[in-house]
Structures are given as C-alpha cells and as structure tokens.
Chains A and B, each alone.
Chain A
Amino acid sequence: MKVLVGVKRVIDYNVKVRVKSDNTDVDLSNTKMAINPFCEIAVEEAIRLKEAGVATEVIAVSVGTTASQEQLRTALALGADRAILVESEDGAEPLNVAKAFAKIMEQEQASLVILGKQSIDSDNNQVGQMLAALTKRPQGTFASKVAVDGDSVSVTREIDGGLRTVKLALPAIVTTDLRLNEPRFAKLPDIMKAKRKPLETKTFADLGVEVKQHIQLDKVEAPATRQGGVKVGSVDELIQKLKDEAKVI
C-alpha cells in the first residue's frame, strides 16, 4: 500500500508574523521556516504505518516554491522513501493544491493520503476535504487515531462534541489533528542519507492542472492590538474590579 503525505513549508510556529508596511502581505524575509506542524504529524503517521508493515512506500509531496525542497528533505530524513515537489508560486490556493494531489494520487495509485488538517499560515483547513471530493473518495478529517484494516481504515476524529469514529473504504484521505501522534526528530545520519533519496520536481502543467485564481488577496493588516490591563494585588481586589469596574460578575 502506497501512502502519500503532504508537506507544507510555513513559518515556524514559535515565530510571530509581521505585516509588511505596505499592507500587501506578511513579511517572511529572514523568517525561520519549518514543516507545518500538522504535516509533521502526517509524516510521522505514514512512517509508523511503514514500520508496522502496513505501508510499502511513503511519498512526501509538497506544492510550493523551490525552497520547499528543504522541508521535503526533512520528511525524507524522517523516513519518507521519496519526494515530489510541485513547483508553484508562494501561496498556492487550496483548490489548486488539491487538484495537484488528486493527479499524483491517481498516478501513484496511492491507497491512503495523509495531510495536515490545516496549515498554520493560511489557516484554511480545506485541502484534504477538497482532495476527497475531487477523487470522489471518503475522508477522515481531524484524526486522533488511524487504524488500517485490510481494505478499509478506521479514523477517530476530534469533533466539537468529543470524538467520532468512522470507517472508510480505501483509497481514503485522512487529515491529522494534534493528538494523532508525537512526531520524532530527524537523526543526523538520516539527514545525510536523505540527501540521496529521490526528489522529483514537477509543475502544475506537467500534471495537467490548470491553475485558477478563486480568491484574491487585497490587503493584509495587523489586527487591532489589545491593551494589556492592570495587575491586581489580591483576590479581593480582583473581585472588586470584576464587579465594579468591568461589571462582568
């Protein structure tokens, strides 16, 4: 069984983003970049499936600029067998990304695609579901547990009221939530070895995907900043402030 995993290059989650002074976008120059944390969880899950003898091959796929090779190499160091970069401008739209994945899923005859539920830059939470729709396959989003059993997969999902388990016929698409697993760190020898693993570069055109603009970015602004308030010295003072000043209790 082949498993595809998505890998997106994003700002490191510890870094607070700045908005450009001309408000055209955020400023990512000289910013530390990393694998999107949810994609890291996806890579980990795929590697565990391989270690368990369920997956035969793990293919890491990224849609992004040439710089995304760095994140694909990390995925290879973590244990993916090979990688595909679909070269694109920064900020590819989710539907275009999903279309690229659909083509690769078909070409590779992948049985399972594991993607992060959202990327921490655009916060869209769309690609996995779109891919499932495009390929007419079932989806298990926001997964906290994934168990492959023959030609189906059981996915326990984090939903608003708690947990929900669904059974999906393979091929299927799974998107990861935070508690699916704890990703490992790449070891130095594996980072060296990853340099020799295959990394193929394609374009949208190679895949036969016509890139369309659906959503235009007009402007990016910093949010209204909240003024820090006061420090209170005691519980009594806190209660008094909440009653008399804020009037919320």
Chain B
Amino acid sequence: MATLLIAEHNGTELAPATLSALTAAQQIGSEITILVAGANAKAAADAAAQCSGVSKVLLAEGDSLAHELAENLSELIVSLAGDYSHIMAPSNSVSKDTMPRVSALLDVGQLSDITAVLSDAQFQRPIYAGNAIATVTSKDAKKVITVRAAAFDKAAATGGSASIESVAAPAENTAATWVGDELSKSERPELTAADRIVSGGRGVGSAENFALIEALADKLGAAVGASRAAVDSGFVANDLQVGQTGKIVAPSLYMAFGISGAIQHLAGMKDSKVIVAVNKDEEAPIFQVADYGLVGDLFDVLPELTEKL
C-alpha cells in the first residue's frame, strides 16, 4: 500500500488544503508520496518535502502543466499510478476537474469529498448537500479520492525531510488549449483558508453595498464570502460563493448578513465553529444554525459593528 497525494499549491507554497488532505492520507496509514505539478513548482516541492510523514516528493515541471488542464494533469497522474493503492487530492476546482478523469482512465470509481477515513477502504462522505452522511467502501484495487479539507485538521508542514525526485511532464494535449484567466485579485485571505469569514447575501442589495461587508471583513482580517443569490445578482465574483456547489468552509467565525440560510448555503458553512447571523426576518432558517442571531437591518448593524470592534 502506498499513497500518492496531489498537492494544491501556487508554485511557491502549498495551500493549507494540501495539509488537511495529508492528514487524511496519514490516517489511511501507508507510505505517502506528494506530487507537485506545475510550470514552475520547485519551491512548492521544497515545502512539500518538509511536511511530516512524507517519504518522497515527485516534482513534475513543464509547459503542459502550466494551466492545470485536466487532460494533461490526468495523463501525468495515470503514468505514475502504477505504484500506488491510493491517489488522493484536496477537493478544489483542479482536482474536481482532473480526478474523475484519472478514475475513468484507471477504470475505478471515485470517492468525492470524503470527510472521514474509517479504514484504508472505508470512508464517509456527505450526500444531499450534507443532509445525509454516507459510509462507503471502495471495491477497487486503486482508490481515487478527493478530500474535503474543512473536515480534517492540517498536518504539520515541518519536521519532514523527504527526497525530491523529478518526473517527466506529459505531452501537451492538442485538443484542449488554455485561452486566458480572469482571476479575482484580493488582499484578503483566501476563502477556504480563512479563519474568519464575513458573508453577504441578497439582502446586501448591490455591489456597492458590499463595501459594508468588506469593511467589517478588513477590520476582522476576514475573508469575504457570499450566497449564490449575491453572486448571481452580480454583487461579487463567482469564486466567493459558499455552499453545496460553491466553496465549503469551516472557519472559527462565520458571519452571515442578509442570507436566508437555504440548505444549499448551509451545506457550505454549517461546520464553522461559531456562526453569527444578522437578518431582518426573525424566521430566517439561518437562525437555526447560528450560535448568535441578531434580528435587525444589516445596514444599521454592519456600520455599528465595524465601528465598535
């Protein structure tokens, strides 16, 4: 038994989600190799080699890996798969894109978004927007797994001294080409890595009004999140959506303003440690999961809160 863990990184650093997935890998209990793939990822590979409980780091660098295209990345992973019983990655937009492709190429099923490791073959994962938890057993010799980072503590990023080995990058798939990115730029913490999140919903009313959410977030050093309604209405960018089909978060503090608490939204944040909800409708379902609820107008509460903190 051996595990190949595909790192999430930005070329220089590992994403915190990688460390959470490493914890899941450690719970499986076999030897762990981390794969760091990218156009330029030496520094991230160095960081991976420092992680505790990692025996080896594979570094794949090449132009074909520059934009995380699933067609190329899946070729790389499948070319390495022979040596491993478990192929894992933190759940993110790259692994969601790539890992099912890996599974199909290996003719095995995929376990998406596991939240608990019960044995080397048995896992738990949420279904129905987290309203049910399934215990599942993989019958395949090779197990392809994505890990819900919010469900696992982060493994230590230090204490290890794994060797780094270079592996060849795959050939470029000519049927899929990268055209361009429109990435959101922000000085604020990344949503899935943040310890505090201030989220706004339809009740915030407009993109301009989101400045109120941002002001509180900045005061708290928090990330900004949103409901689907706020994204659909164009108040904020798509990558801020929290929920069943957006990002799954579990910060120490989650503050929801003008969010009703639909099951799809709750699915993405109900494992937060402390939840605060501010809503003018005292019947709003968000209050059923909130530790502290304040019935009131967010346009009064937000400025007052930002000022008094």
A residues adjacent to B (C-beta < 8 A): 11, 13, 16-17, 19, 26, 38, 93-95, 98, 117-118, 120-134, 137-139, 141-142, 144, 154, 157-169, 172, 177-179, 213-223, 226, 228-236, 238-239, 241-242, 246, 248-249
On whether the beta carbons of A141 and B181 are closer than 8 Å, the reply is: no
Which listed segment binds A: B53-61, B101-109, B203-211?
B101-109
Which 8 residue pairs spanning A and B have beta carbons closest together?
A: A214-B109, A229-B291, A138-B176, A129-B100, A133-B104, A130-B104, A126-B100, A162-B183
On whether the beta carbons of A125 and B100 are closer than 8 Å, the reply is: yes
Q: CA of A169 to CA of B179 in the docked complex: distance in angstroms?
A: 13
Closest chain A CB from B294 CB (angstroms): 5
Chain A residue, CB-CB nearest to B131: A17
**Chain A CB within 8 A of B156 CB:** no
Residue from the list A117, A215, A228, A229 in contact with B111, Cβ < 8 A: A215
Kindly supply a per-residue 1/0 record for chain B positions 162-174, scoring 1 wherever the CB is within 8 Å of any chain A CB and 0 otherwise: 0000000000011
Contacts of B196 in A (CB 8 A): 248
Chain A residue, CB-CB nearest to B253: A248
Highest count of chain B CB atoms <10 Å: which of A93, A162, A222: A162
Residue from the list A161, A213, A242 in contact with B184, Cβ < 8 A: A161
Can you list 10 contacts pairing A with B, beta carbon distance less than 8 Å? A95-B109, A139-B176, A161-B183, A161-B239, A169-B174, A214-B108, A217-B134, A220-B134, A222-B131, A231-B282
Contacts of B175 in A (CB 8 A): 137-138, 168-169, 172
Closest chain A CB from B133 CB (angstroms): 5
Closest chain B CB from A11 CB (angstroms): 7
Q: CA of A184 to CA of B179 in the docked complex: distance in angstroms?
A: 30
Chain B residue, CB-CB nearest to A142: B93
**Given contact pairs A138-B71, A159-B93, A239-B308, A219 touches B134 in the complex (Cβ within 8 A):** yes
Q: CA of A248 to CA of B228 in the docked complex: distance in angstroms?
A: 26
Q: Which of B288-309 contact A (CB under 8 A)?
A: 288-295, 301, 304-305, 308-309
On whether the beta carbons of A241 and B292 are closer than 8 Å, the reply is: yes
Q: CA of A239 to CA of B309 in the docked complex: distance in angstroms?
A: 7
Contacts of B40 in A (CB 8 A): none
Q: CA of A121 to CA of B245 in the docked complex: distance in angstroms?
A: 12
Closest chain A CB from B211 CB (angstroms): 19
Contacts of A233 in B (CB 8 A): 294
Classify chain B: how many residues form its interface, as a range: 35 or more
Closest chain B CB from A139 CB (angstroms): 6
Kindly supply a per-residue 1/0 record for chain B positions 123-144, scoring 1 wherever the CB is within 8 Å of any chain A CB and 0 otherwise: 0001111111111111110000
Contacts of B182 in A (CB 8 A): 162-165
B residues adjacent to A (C-beta < 8 A): 67, 69-71, 74, 92-94, 96-105, 107-113, 122, 126-140, 173-184, 192, 196, 220, 228, 231-232, 237-239, 244-245, 247, 252-253, 263-264, 270, 273-276, 282, 287-295, 301, 304-305, 308-309
Closest chain B CB from A106 CB (angstroms): 15
On whether the beta carbons of A154 and B179 are closer than 8 Å, the reply is: yes
Closest chain A CB from B80 CB (angstroms): 16
Contacts of A222 in B (CB 8 A): 131-133
Q: CA of A219 to CA of B124 in the docked complex: distance in angstroms?
A: 9
Q: CA of A132 to CA of B153 in the docked complex: distance in angstroms?
A: 34
Chain A residue, CB-CB nearest to B192: A160
Chain A residue, CB-CB nearest to B180: A165
Q: CA of A129 to CA of B106 in the docked complex: distance in angstroms?
A: 13
Q: CA of A168 to CA of B174 in the docked complex: distance in angstroms?
A: 9
On whether the beta carbons of A120 and B128 are closer than 8 Å, the reply is: yes
Chain B residue, CB-CB nearest to A241: B292
Closest chain B CB from A213 CB (angstroms): 6
On whether the beta carbons of B136 and A215 are closer than 8 Å, the reply is: yes
On whether the beta carbons of A221 and B135 are closer than 8 Å, the reply is: yes
Closest chain A CB from B104 CB (angstroms): 4
On whether the beta carbons of B93 and A133 are closer than 8 Å, the reply is: no
On whether the beta carbons of B92 and A121 are closer than 8 Å, the reply is: no
Closest chain B CB from A245 CB (angstroms): 9
Closest chain A CB from B271 CB (angstroms): 8
On whether the beta carbons of B238 and A179 are closer than 8 Å, the reply is: yes
Q: CA of A66 to CA of B180 in the docked complex: distance in angstroms?
A: 43
On whether the beta carbons of A214 and B228 are closer than 8 Å, the reply is: no
Closest chain A CB from B195 CB (angstroms): 9
Closest chain A CB from B297 CB (angstroms): 12
Residue from the list B104, B107, B177, B270 in contact with A166, Cβ < 8 A: B177
Contacts of A214 in B (CB 8 A): 108-109, 138-140
**Given contact pairs A139-B176, A163-B238, A218 touches B122 in the complex (Cβ within 8 A):** yes
On whether the beta carbons of B133 and A223 are closer than 8 Å, the reply is: yes
On whether the beta carbons of A11 and B128 are closer than 8 Å, the reply is: yes
On whether the beta carbons of A17 and B132 are closer than 8 Å, the reply is: yes
On whether the beta carbons of A13 and B264 are closer than 8 Å, the reply is: yes
Q: CA of A183 to CA of B154 in the docked complex: distance in angstroms?
A: 41
